[in-house]
């Protein structure tokens, strides 16, 4: 059974950093492109970052230079390092596997940026 489990969210102050993790199981993790997608409270889905199977990455303009996506295929885990956090980064962050659309999603982890 495919599972994606996010962790690392919580309350952080503006300007601080946090690293989110997404632990994958039930599939050949190293072969898949992975994404982070976020959803601010009461708002829509917004794409954040992707990492290809070969490790190449891309980020949305709104987070480029502050967020970094990475993967550890030995640990079947994808990460999102989030630096210089702002109030507008407050959201539930989902990781998702890219195959036949975003076919599997985690349950999400809430990041709240507030003083």
Partner 1 sequence: QSALTQPRSVSGSPGQSVTISCTGTSSDVGGYNYVSWYQQHPGKAPKVMIYDVTERPSGVPDRFSGSKSGNTASLTISGLQAEDEADYYCCSWAGNSLIFGGGTKVTVL
Interface residues toward partner 1, by CB under 8 A: 35, 37, 44-47, 50, 58, 60-61, 94, 100-103, 105-108
Question: Please, what is the minimum distance in Å from the beta carbon of residue 99 to partner 1?
Answer: 9
| Chain centroid to CA 84 | 16
Nearer of residues 1 and 61 to partner 1, judged by Cβ: 61
Closest by Cα among 29, 17, 9 to 81: 17
In the complex, least distance from residue 109 CB atom to partner 1, rounded to whole angstroms: 11
The pair of structure tokens assigned to 82 is: 């989030």
CA distance 3 to 41: 24
Judged by beta carbon, residue 31 or residue 115, the one nearer partner 1 is: 31
């Amino acid at each position: 059974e495919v599972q994606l489990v996010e962790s690392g969210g919580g309350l952080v102050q503006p300007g601080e950093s946090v690293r989110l993790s997404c632990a994958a199981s039930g599939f050949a993790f190293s072969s898949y492109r992975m994404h982070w997608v976020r959803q601010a409270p009461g708002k829509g889905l917004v794409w954040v970052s992707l990492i290809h199977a070969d490790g190449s990455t891309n980020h949305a303009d709104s987070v480029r230079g502050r967020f970094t996506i990475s993967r550890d295929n030995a640990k079947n885990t994808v990460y999102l390092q989030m630096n210089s956090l702002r109030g507008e980064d407050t959201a539930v962050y989902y990781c998702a596997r890219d195959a036949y659309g975003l076919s599997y999603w985690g349950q999400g982890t809430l990041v709240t940026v507030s003083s």
